[in-house]
Amino acid sequence: MQMESESINNILVITPREKRIDASSATAFKGQLVDWINSGNHRLLLDLGHVDFIDSSGLGALVSALKSLGNSGDLLLCNVSKPVMSLFNLTRMDRIFQIYPNREEAISLQG
Amino acid sequence: MHRQEELQKVEAIIRQIIESGIPEEKLLSQLETFDHGIPYTRLDRPCTVNDGIRQVAADDISFLLEAWAEAAAAGRLMKFVPASGAASRMFKSLNTLAGLPDILDDAFLDAGVAAGDADCRLGRQFFDSIRNFAFVDDLKASVSRHGIDIEDLLARGRYRDILQFVLTAKGLNYSNLPKGLIRFHRYSKGSRTPFAEHLAEAVDYTLDRNRVCRIHFTVPPEHRQAIEQHLEEIRIRHELAGVMIMSSLSIQKPSAQTLAAGPGNDPFRTEDDLLVFRPAGHGALLENLNELDGDIVFIKNIDNVVPDHLRETTNLYKKILAGFLVHLQDELFAHLQSLARGELDQDLLDRIADFAGRQLSTDLPADFRQRPAGEQADILFSSLNRPVRVCGMVRNQGEPGGGPFWVKNNPCCPLQIVETAQIDPADRDQQQILGASTHFNPVDLVCGVRDFMGKPFDLMKYVDFNTGLITAKSLGGRELKAMELPGLWNGSMAYWNTVFIGVPLPTFNPVKTVNDLLRPEHQPPA
């Protein structure tokens, strides 16, 4: 799975370059997120601007990544498409993730 | 709430979605449908004899039977029986009586009957006529296994004890079985379930030249094994008579459910925040039908069967309907082949247009004949090249359910089977049309599901997803909205070519309550 990362204000900004995160890519997606977390990144911002859709496997991968952060970090989300946001609402994920309209706002509010 | 608890809740919801088997896109589209609503079907007029419903002329019967016989011999025919339904509704009144705290004896039943109580009336008739049910021998055997004589229980008015043996796992467990496993009809040598009757019926009209009979049942997963075992016993009996039964079973997809919504059209949730899924109705069986790889498929409900001595009329009309379909397909396929070869002769196009209007009730565009020949051919090809069904219709006798109507806004396929709930209850004109209907849908369909090249149609492409139903229900005292997908013979076949044919009432003998089995048509000959 193609993902770009850059560090801005001590936040690791991760941008998946895929239109869909589903059963075919969820394992790799989760693996990469956990790798970043295990290598000491505890403030992550996932920019979902290129992602049109996430299925249950992809949603599960996000939840796993958040769990592996425990209480000592944050996994923020931004640029969430309408269908993905609807799925966050359906699964109540909107209650456990901090979701921002765009990366600038997310970073400024975390600063 | 602690993040850990929230996380667990989210994980539980994601698990629910995965286990439901419903693609996430479909869930979102279901929520959108709750938001937008499902429009009512707009009726133009009821189908009546010679206006949407044809009557088969006596002179035509012999050539229709020939057409049927040829298709049967070639192994083109099979039967599809939706049999997932539980028998619980058939025993609803008896269950109610069994659950009452009162002493259930003659005095109680008689007082209930005098007061006009429907459950008591059914119970009274049930106990008075219990020896006439086909399952009475099984019941006696089950009671005697406990060292009790059923006659003794009857004499002492110990009706609750008897109901326990009928309804629960202590005895026949009928309240928890699928309808297809209830003993419906008594014969000199034992009794038969609807599964057995459907097989006996199918042998008569689907048998091919190699004496193979093809039949498919959709069944509830929890009873699949018991049904397989039952069918195997029946199969052996038919094989002894030289008939090979090719029966297959499928399960209604777990994904055949829909999300429930709250009054604001957001997902309805339990106290634990979980989602609520509800059965989506029989329309989901279209996927099972689609996967059958059939050619000409009879569809009939599991509870609509008669004993051998009354089967002649039923089977004659099955053959007539199938013969009609085969005859129709002969002409239809010949026209489609001409169109596929690119034949644009105006006389031919006129003949095909005439066939589409006359035989399939297709409403071609008003300026059809002014259009270029190529365009006319395209319109005709797209109108004709779709699954086709011939549906038997019976005179309306006040049975609840759908009927045949001419609908608006579907010029290609204006003949539709429409359910009462699909019609706007607040629209007086529409209700008037409904009230004027003369015929009823007994679910007696013969479906042509292959195209002119013998290739199976993808039936999912001919569904009108706007014909489902949203109904108000309640769960735990809270209001919820439930959505049914388009019904199998309603919206799921909305873009099929359709022909309605009048069939006699004796071909329709549904068993809705247990006491329907006491009607003469479900009893042995006098």
Query: What CATH number is given to the structural domain containing B378?
Result: 3.90.550
Is B416 within the bounds of a domain? Answer: yes
Alpha carbon of B333 to those of A81, B369, B377, B384, B490: distances in Å?
47, 22, 14, 9, 25
Check CB contact of A91 with chain B, cutoff 8 Å.
yes
pLDDT, average across residues A95-104: 94
Asked if A62 is an interface residue toward chain B (Cβ–Cβ < 8 A), one would say no
Task: Looking at the structure, tell me whether residues B359 and B412 fall in a common domain.
Answer: yes
Question: Is B4 among the domain residues?
Answer: no
Domain check: are B121 and B55 in the same one? no
State how far the Cα of B488 lies from the Cα of B146, in Å rounded to an integer.
44
Size (chain A), residues: 111
CATH annotation of A3-110: 3.30.750.24
Domain spans of chain A? 3-110
User: Are B360 and B484 in a shared domain?
Assistant: yes
Across the interface, which of A63, A66, A83 has its CB nearest the CB of B14? A63
CA A64 to centroid of chain Cα atoms: 11
Q: Average per-residue pLDDT in chain A?
A: 93
Mutate to test the interface with B, among A55, A63, A92 (most CBs of B within 10 A): A92
What range defines the domain where residue B207 resides?
43-87+196-510
Q: Which DSSP category does B133 fall into?
A: S
Gap between the Cα atoms of B191 and A100, Å rounded: 68
Q: Are residues B170 and B289 in the same domain?
A: no
Asked if the ipTM is above 0.90, the reply is yes
* Confidence band of A111 (pLDDT split at 50, 70, 90): low
Alpha carbon distance B112, B119 (integer Å): 8
- The pLDDT score that the predictor gives to residue B1 is 55
* Residue B143 φ/ψ, nearest 5 degrees: -70, -40
For position B281, what pLDDT does the model report?
A: 80
Please write the tens of the pLDDT for every residue from B332-362: 999 999 999 998 899 999 999 999 999 999 9
Note the pLDDT of residue A70: 84
**C-alpha dihedral sign at B458, B40, B49, B379:** negative
Evaluate whether residue B113 is within a structural domain: yes
Q: For A37-55, what is the mean pLDDT? A: 95
Where helices occur in B219-310 by DSSP H, the ranges are 224-240, 285-290
**Average of pLDDT values for A86-101?**
95
Phi, psi of B136 (to 5 degrees): -65, -35
E-strand stretches of B55-167:
77-82
What length is written for chain B? Answer: 526
A74 touches chain B (CB under 8 A): no
B147 and B81 in a common domain: no
CB contact under 8 A, A71 and B3: yes
What tokens does B132 get?
A: 């006439």
CA distance B358 to B483: 36
Interchain contact, B25 vs A53, CB within 8 Å = yes
> Which residues lie across from A12 on neighbouring strands?
A7, A44
Stretches where chain B sits below pLDDT 50 are none
Total domain count, chain B: 2
Q: What is the pLDDT of residue B266?
A: 93
* B496 domain-assigned: yes
d(CA B302, CA B194): 6
Percentage of chain A with pLDDT > 90?
Answer: 86
Contact B14 A59 (CB under 8 A): yes
Task: Report how far residue B391's alpha carbon sits from residue B417's, in angstroms, rounded to the nearest whole number.
Answer: 9
Residues 6+ apart with CB under 8 A from A94: A85, A88
The verdict on B79 and B110 lying in the same domain is no
Q: Is the domain of B221 the same as that of B132?
A: no
